[in-house]
Amino acid sequence: MTGFADRSATVTPQGVTVENRFVEDDIRAALAVWERMVRRLASDWQPDGSYALEAYGADLRARDELARLLAGLPQPACGHLREAVDRLDDEFRELTVHDRWFVVQDAFHLSLEGRAARGWWWRRKPPVLPWSRIARLLGTDFDGDPVEDLYDVIGDGLDDPRHRERVPGLVALVGDPAAADHERLTACIALLAWGEAAGYEAVVGAAADPRNAAWYDCSIDRKFSVDNTFGQLARAIASDSGLAEEKGTLAARTEAVRALVRIADGEYFDEQLEGVLESCVAEPGVVEDVEGVVRRGVRLLAGDARLRFDLATQLVDLACAVSTADVHRAIALASEVLAVAPGDRALRHARVIALRAGEPEGERFAGHLRNVGDALRFPAES
């Protein structure tokens, strides 16, 4: 790249007088900052591939300053300055992509009014965000090409053994208390999907004190307005595509699932726990964990506590998972829940157990569900 800011003939061309020396200095400084950032971007953020968000913001504000100065300069100085800035801008466009999800503007918490007032350079972003550790770990596919969605890389890693090269960095990120909470969550999700023991250990640790988990409330369910990060963790464990068996981490996986089951009376799982529970419900101690959490939940449902989400349906879903291994216990557990919280949604979910049970037990349970539903719709007159 040809230097601009260090060449006064470019910044303030020969024959062009900038009346105020302070304006000339401001132009020189702002253009130097913008050029330095473009050079770093072109070098893929050498030497270590990182660049602080605060520094990137200062660079964008330097470009704001150039726009302001340019608008206030008379011709011919305006034209010469525009030529210098245009060359850098063209390089910046070539090296960046359209920021369709407003990642940069969100990073600086810009208001709608603030976004509208910003120049086009605020609506572009580097292909891999240099201030984001998780983007440096998952922002490119396994051939080194930038991706729009980090979760595409996680999915591709299920079938690509090269995902193992990224594991050490992800493990370090999950365990770093100074890292951004949402990045630690994404790193844990990747490790779980790839069947890594470190991911399972992180889940067990988070479940031991769920409200103080590093990523708690990083993601909020739209329906109930409660944390749904544990549901994301459950879904990630379920998606491992046999990697836990391949890596010899099945026992750790089961312990992680059991840890999640044990908090299902207090934390929301967005219907994600049933699927992963089915995969290990036959393991020793798992059904007993379900029985324990269902009975604690039933006591909550029967009490006066204000519940944050549809606990009854979540507990019925756990009973549905048990039905793949022990339909009699599943019926008993679901019946306990429905006896104190016979909602329409819980009843609909419980039908899965009736279908799995077969005759005659399944038909009897289906009849029970119909009776409970009828009682809800047509309550007896007092």
The predicted pLDDT at position 381 comes to 47
Containing H/E element for 125?
strand 124-125
Per-residue model confidence (pLDDT) at position 11: 43
- Output the pLDDT for position 78: 66
Exposure on the CB side of residue 27, measured as CA atoms within 13 A: 28
Does residue 7 carry a pLDDT above 80?
A: no
pTM of the predicted model, to two decimals?
0.84
Task: Check whether 15 has a pLDDT greater than 50.
Answer: no
Instruction: Assess whether pLDDT exceeds 70 at residue 163.
Output: yes
Q: Taking residues 11-40, report their average pLDDT.
A: 73
DSSP code at position 97: E
- Spell out the long-range contacts of 242-250 with Cβ–Cβ below 8 A and sequence spacing 24 or more: 242/195, 243/158, 243/193, 243/194, 243/195, 244/195, 245/195, 246/195, 247/195, 247/196, 247/197, 249/195, 249/196, 249/197, 249/200
In this structure, of 76-85, 201-210, 283-292, the range with the lowest mean pLDDT score is 76-85
Residue 55 to residue 33: CA distance in whole angstroms: 10
Measured CA to CA, the distance from residue 110 to residue 248 in angstroms comes to 46
Reported confidence tier of residue 73, pLDDT bands at 50, 70, 90: confident
For residue 209, what is the DSSP state? S
- pLDDT for 3 equals 54
DSSP result, 98-114: E-TT-HHHHHTT--HHH
CA distances from 73 to 17, 24, 68, 350 (A): 10, 10, 9, 73
- What angle, rounded to 10 degrees, do the helices at 344-357 and 327-340 form? 160
Say which residue the tokens 């216990």 belong to.
Answer: 329
Q: Is residue 54 predicted with pLDDT exceeding 60?
A: yes
Name the 3-class secondary structure at 262.
coil
Query: Which residue in 2, 61, 70, 57 sits closest to 35, CA to CA?
Result: 2
Q: What is the mean pLDDT of residues 224-230?
A: 97
- For 66, other C-beta atoms within 10 Å of its C-beta total 25
Interval 18-23 mean pLDDT: 58
- CA R_g for the chain: 29
Q: Minimal CA–CA distance to 7: which of 27, 153, 258?
A: 27
Element (H, E) at 191: helix 181-193
User: Could you tell me what percent of the chain has a pLDDT over 70?
Assistant: 91
Which tokens hold the place of 206?
């988070």
In the predicted structure, residue 22 carries a pLDDT above the cut 50: yes
pLDDT > 70? residue 199: yes
Q: What is the 3-state secondary structure (H, E, C) of 1-31?
A: CCCCCCCHHHHCCCCCCCCCHHHHHHHHHHH
CB atoms within 10 A of CB 101: 11
